A and B are shown apart, each in its own frame.
Chain A
Amino acid sequence: MAKKVLVVGGGPAGLAAARALGRLGVPTLLIEKEEKLGGRPILENYYTLIPRKLKPSQVLGPYIKEVEENPNIEVKLKTELEACEGEPGNFKVRLSNGETHEVASIIVATGFQHFDPRRKGELGYGIYPDVITNLELEQMFSKEGRLYRPSNGQLPKRVAFVFCVGSRDRQLGVTNVHCCRYGCALSGLQGSEIREHYPDVDVFCYYMDVRTYGTWEYPFYWAPQEKYGVRYVRGRIAEITYSPADGRLRVKHEDTIVQRPAEVPMDLVVLVLGMEPSEGTKKVAKILGLAQDPDSQFLIPSEESGSNIVSNKPGIFIAGACKGPIDIESSLSEGEAAAAEAAAFIGAKVSV
Chain B
Amino acid sequence: MDGHSYGYNIPISEKTKSVPWEEKVRVIEEVKSDFRFKEYIFGCLNCGVCTASCPSNRFFDYSPREIVQRFLEDDVEVLYDMMHEYIWACSQCFTCWIRCPFVNNPGGLVAIMREVAVRNAFEATKDLLKPYGRVLLKVMTTGNQLSADMLQPDFFPDWGPKMADNMENLRAKRMAIPFDVGKSVKTAWEVSLETAIEMYTIWRETGIFEMLEKLDPNLYNVIMDIVEENEERYQELYEEE
Contact = CB atoms under 8 A, between A and B. Distances in A.
Contact of B48 (A169, A171, A255): A255
B101 A238 contact: no
Interface in B81-101: 98-101
Interface string A109-124: 0000000000000100
- Contact residues of A: prevailing secondary structure: mixed
A351 interface: no
A235 B45 contact: no
B62 to A, nearest CB: 11
Interface stretch (B49-57, B105-113, B160-168, B229-237): B49-57
Interface in B34-59: 45-49, 51-53, 57-58
B21 interface: no
Contact of B51 (A122, A208, A234, A254): A254
A122 B53 CA distance: 10
A163 to B, nearest CB: 10
Nearest to B57: A261
A256 interface: yes
Contacts of A237: 49, 52
Given A252-B52, A256-B65, A261-B58, A236 B102 contact: no
A255 B65 CA distance: 12
Interface string A239-258: 10000000000001111100
Contacts of B51: 254, 256, 261
Interface residues of A, number: 22
A261 B52 contact: yes
A48 to B, nearest CB: 28
A169 B103 CA distance: 9
A259 B63 contact: yes
Nearest to A236: B47
Closest 7 CB pairs between A and B?
A254-B48, A236-B47, A238-B52, A256-B48, A235-B48, A254-B51, A254-B52
Interface of A: 122, 164, 168-171, 208-209, 234-239, 252-256, 259, 261-262
28 contacts: A169-B101, A170-B103, A171-B98, A171-B100, A208-B46, A209-B45, A235-B48, A235-B52, A236-B45, A236-B47, A236-B48, A236-B49, A237-B49, A237-B52, A238-B52, A239-B52, A239-B53, A253-B52, A254-B49, A254-B51, A254-B65, A255-B48, A256-B46, A256-B48, A256-B65, A259-B63, A261-B51, A261-B57
